[in-house]
Amino acid sequence: MPITIADVAARAKVSKTTVSRVLNGKGELDESTAARVRAVIEELGYVPSSRAVGLARGRTRVVGMLVPSLTWPWIGEVIQGAVDVLETERYGLLLFTCNRGEESMRQFGAQVSAKSFDGLLVIEPEGTLDYIATLHRRGLPVVLIDDRDQTSGEIPSVGTTNHDGAGAAARHLLRIGRRSPLVITGPERFGCTLQRNAGFAAVFADAGLPIPAERTWLGDFTVACGAEAVQTALDSGVEFDAVFAHNDLSALGAMQALMDAGRRIPQDVAVVGFDDIPTAAHTQPPLSTVHQPLREMGEAAARTLLAHFEGTPLPNRPTVIPASFVTRGSTVAPTE
């Protein structure tokens, strides 16, 4: 049977409260009593629960993280960035998903009520922002990662330059002579979709090449929507010499539909994505894309939370880490 605090107290002939004070360094104790308790702890090989000690000190040294699902291809990079920072500082991570909808959120809420973690990192599951904001207002330190809904600074956030990243993609396509892009967007309710649309469209408009409605397809960040957009454009006779997809999954679907239709990439149609998920470098041809600093975003969010635990106020404006453009074979052929 594992040794408990009660066993230590009985052997040392003190109360459990006295043992707890020795473990936590709290309260005034007679030195001989404290020494006797420490000797019994060593003799019995008692190892206190780190969670119990943390709660006694007012700190669990655990950070919670709420994400929509682990199946999203870029979420692993963000989590890894956060974990790298937390483990270095000897914090644990308690991970929650919303795979089971309301049941998942009830379980998450129970852990919030139990004060199982000191603060929360969030990649916002759809429809939870009001609840997260309420938790933050009630005193739970929260940092959003990839603030898709643009919360006007109420909750500290870490994001990237969606507008500028899309603009970089547009300038690249113009440099290689592409004048008629098909744009496959993300869901229009997301702030990142609005920013990517605006950044890309502005560059083409400044070049005297505004993008007409028939070359803009409202997507949902899936492979299927990318394929459907391209197939519909081809069937409708819409002329395009490039595709800009708001994420890499949509771009992968677009590439497959183009190849199925006998279109060469990039000779006939250049393709650009957004995210730079690991798969992007291994498609045929490799996908040119806007690199989101996903791991760096996770690291920055974790550092922000840990700094707050040490007394630094949470920032009242977003932390923005620049995106960058990565050129690969889907826009520039090896001979070019």
pLDDT classification of 73: cutoffs 50, 70, 90:
confident
d(CA 21, CA 313): 30
Packing angle, helices 16-24 and 31-44, rounded to 10: 90
Instruction: Give the residue-averaged pLDDT of 150-164.
Output: 82
Q: Give the residue among 217, 267, 219, 223 at the shortest CA–CA distance from 241.
A: 267
Kindly state the tokens that stand for 118. 């000191």
d(CA 297, CA 160): 8
Instruction: Give the residue-averaged pLDDT of 277-286.
Output: 95
Q: What is the pLDDT of residues 245-259, one digit of tens each?
A: 999 999 999 999 999
Residue 77 confidence (pLDDT) above 90: yes
> Around Cβ 322, how many Cβ atoms within 10 Å?
12
Residue 147 confidence (pLDDT) above 80: no
pLDDT classification of 146: cutoffs 50, 70, 90:
confident
Residue 55 confidence (pLDDT) above 60: no
Which 3 state secondary structure label does DSSP give 252?
helix
Instruction: Give the residue-averaged pLDDT of 177-194.
Output: 94
Q: Give the residue among 200, 195, 289, 196 at the shortest CA–CA distance from 251.
A: 289
Across the chain, what does the average pLDDT equal? Answer: 91
Q: Give the residue among 253, 299, 248 at the shortest CA–CA distance from 77.
A: 299
Please name the fold of domain 162-292. Rossmann fold (3.40.50)
Confidence at residue 210, expressed as pLDDT on a 0 to 100 scale: 97
**Is the CATH number 1.10.260.40 carried by domain 5-48?**
yes
Residue 100 confidence (pLDDT) above 70: yes
In the chain, the percentage of residues whose pLDDT exceeds 70 is 92
Q: What is the pLDDT of residues 286-305, one digit of tens each?
A: 999 999 999 999 999 999 99
d(CA 149, CA 55): 34
Q: Hey, where are the domains in the chain?
A: 5-48, 61-160+294-323, 162-292
Tell me the whole-structure pTM to 2 decimals. Answer: 0.79
Instruction: Give the residue-averaged pLDDT of 68-83.
Output: 92
Establish whether domains 5-48 and 61-160+294-323 are of one fold.
no
d(CA 50, CA 148): 36
Residue 47 confidence (pLDDT) above 70: yes
Instruction: Give the residue-averaged pLDDT of 31-51.
Output: 82
Higher local confidence (pLDDT), 49 or 22: 22
In the chain, the percentage of residues whose pLDDT exceeds 90 is 70
d(CA 56, CA 223): 49
- In the sheet that holds 92-97, the strands lie side by side as 92-97, 62-67, 119-122, 142-145, 157-160, 319-321
Burial of 310 (0-12, 13-18, 19+ CB in 10 A): exposed
Confidence at residue 154, expressed as pLDDT on a 0 to 100 scale: 81
pLDDT classification of 115: cutoffs 50, 70, 90:
confident
Q: Which amino acid is at 68?
A: P
pLDDT classification of 307: cutoffs 50, 70, 90:
very high
Kindly report the CATH class assigned to 61-160+294-323: alpha beta
Instruction: Give the residue-averaged pLDDT of 33-40.
Output: 90
Higher local confidence (pLDDT), 328 or 16: 328
DSSP readout, 257-287? HHHHTT--TTTT-EEEEEE--GGGGGSSSPP
Spatial CB neighbours of 261, under 8 Å, sequence gap ≥ 6: 230, 231, 234
Residue 333 confidence (pLDDT) above 90: no
pLDDT classification of 152: cutoffs 50, 70, 90:
low
Question: For residue 325, what are the β-bridge partners?
Answer: 290
Q: What is the pLDDT of residues 321-332, one digit of tens each?
A: 999 999 999 999
Confidence at residue 336, expressed as pLDDT on a 0 to 100 scale: 45
Spatial CB neighbours of 158, under 8 Å, sequence gap ≥ 6: 143, 144, 145, 146, 147, 297, 300, 301, 304, 318, 319, 320, 321
Higher local confidence (pLDDT), 246 or 27: 246
